[in-house]
Amino acid sequence: MKKNSKPEGVTGFPSVGHSSKSRRSSAVVKLPADLGIEQAGSLRETLLKNLNDARNVTLDASEIQRIHAAALQLFCMFCKDRRAAGREVSWREPSLALRSAATLLGATTLLSLGQEPNAA
């Protein structure tokens, strides 16, 4: 049995609790150009590090050229868990590759990609 210091949320990420980090305008997470299946583990770790941040988390998706469905699933879970905890997620310049993949898989609403301007 795997020991986990935080109970998991419904999406598999640890439940979002209150963070002791100070409230600043935004934490920016720069995403790599290649988000293939090979990068899913490191993407998950990056998102987990930002899950409990009290600030708005801005995902800079301007350089994404390749994205696997697994990466989109991680973004969906991240956005869902943060929003359920009343925390914001926004996008900075989502690339055409990201927008196209999200549209193809029907994830634009959950990711708020159709509602966001190109720059955060």
Predicted confidence (pLDDT) per residue in 31-81, tens digit: 999 999 999 999 999 999 999 999 999 999 999 999 999 999 999 999 999
Q: Could you tell me the residue ranges of all domains in the chain?
A: 26-111
pLDDT reported for residue 24 = 55
Question: Which CATH code of 3.30.1330.10, 3.30.750.24, 3.40.50.1370, 3.40.30.10 fits the domain covering 26-111?
Answer: 3.30.750.24
CB 61 within 8 A of CB 98: yes
Residue bearing the bigger pLDDT, 117 or 28: 28
CA dist 26 to 10, 30, 61, Å? 25, 12, 15
What is the pTM (predicted TM-score) of this model? 0.77
pLDDT reported for residue 79 = 97
Angle between helices 69-84 and 40-51 (to 10 degrees): 10
What average pLDDT does range 92-119 have in this prediction?
A: 87
